[in-house]
């Protein structure tokens, strides 16, 4: 059996980063190289981290800010620092950039991801642009990571959103997303863009109704049914939020 591939994750403390680190630790194909946010403040530490890796999944980024220009600059600075560290390596690791299937949007976050992908493609020997759908799962930050996290948190607190728009969500469970990322991390090349497909398409009103029903069952101490893969993943997510109805 081949030796495990040393893999590091920038943004390891974030929602996807934590789940991905757990997946790496459980996957015999890889060996996790720990990352700390402070590495970005030290070129020497960042270069040492990069030299230990054969693959780096670059997830570190600001996803929301009232200052779009600052968001763009921060995301590009993080990618520029990582690029410099990777290029200093005698054998530069493959860099997998966490991006979004909504990459075409005209917003600072999406512009920063397009620019980061272009920088990596022209600067490092092999890079992979990962276009990821919206992910949900335990540990998601309400009002930040996903509307699923927000609605789970609200239902657990006995709250109801002021508006439930008639839209459809295209989602992937965080564990499934991590498996796809690791599958893409195995090949050494070539430089490419990978669109990771969503698992579930769910109307937002249906999601809201399901969670409100589950909140009522939880108050009664009754079991919560889940007879489809999506409902099982949603139940796992919902039950991860403390139950404290108002």
CATH number at residue 15: 3.40.50.720
Q: Which domain holds residue 139?
A: 5-239
- pLDDT tens digits, residue range 170-198? 999 999 999 999 999 999 999 999 999 99
Q: pTM value?
A: 0.95
Judging by DSSP bridges, how do beta strands 134-136 and 30-33 pair with one another?
Answer: unpaired
Give percent helix, percent strand, percent coil of the chain, each to the nearest 5: 45, 20, 35
Average pLDDT over residues 224-243: 97
Band of the pLDDT at 2, cuts 50, 70, 90?
A: confident
Q: Is residue 245 part of a domain?
A: no
What is the number of alpha carbons within 13 Å of residue 5 lying toward its C-beta? 19
Q: Is residue 207 part of a domain?
A: yes
For the chain, what is the largest distance between any 2 Cα atoms, rounded to a whole number of angstroms?
A: 61
What per-residue confidence (pLDDT) applies to 246? 63
Q: Is residue 244 part of a domain?
A: no
- pLDDT tens digits, residue range 102-161? 999 999 999 999 999 999 999 999 999 999 999 999 999 999 889 999 999 999 999 999
Q: How many domains does the chain have?
A: 1
Average pLDDT over residues 211-228: 96
- Rounded alpha-carbon distances, angstroms, from residue 235 to 33, 63, 149, 161, 239: 32, 26, 12, 19, 6
């Amino acid at each position: 059996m081949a030796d495990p591939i040393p893999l590091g994750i920038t943004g390891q403390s974030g929602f996807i980063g934590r789940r991905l680190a757990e997946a790496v630790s459980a996957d015999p194909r890889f060996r996790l190289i720990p990352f700390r946010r402070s590495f970005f403040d030290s070129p020497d530490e960042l270069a040492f981290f990069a030299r230990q890796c054969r693959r780096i999944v670059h997830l570190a980024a600001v996803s929301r800010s009232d200052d779009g220009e600052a968001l763009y600059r921060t995301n590009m600075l993080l990618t520029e620092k990582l690029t410099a560290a990777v290029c200093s390596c005698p054998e530069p690791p493959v860099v997998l950039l966490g991006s979004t299937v909504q990459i075409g949007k005209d917003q600072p976050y999406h512009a920063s991801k397009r620019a980061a992908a272009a920088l990596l493609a022209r600067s490092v020997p092999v890079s992979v642009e990962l276009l990821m759908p919206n992910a949900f799962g335990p540990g998601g930050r309400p009002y930040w990571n996903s509307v699923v996290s927000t609605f789970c948190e609200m239902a657990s607190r006995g709250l109801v959103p002021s508006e439930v728009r008639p839209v459809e969500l295209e989602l992937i469970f965080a564990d499934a997303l991590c498996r796809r990322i690791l599958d893409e991390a195995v090949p050494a090349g070539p430089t490419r863009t990978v669109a990771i497909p969503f698992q579930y398409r769910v109307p937002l009103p249906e999601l809201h109704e399901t969670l409100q029903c589950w909140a009522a069952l939880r108050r009664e101490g009754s079991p919560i049914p889940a007879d489809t893969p999506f409902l099982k993943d949603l139940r796992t997510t919902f039950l991860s939020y403390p139950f404290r109805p108002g």
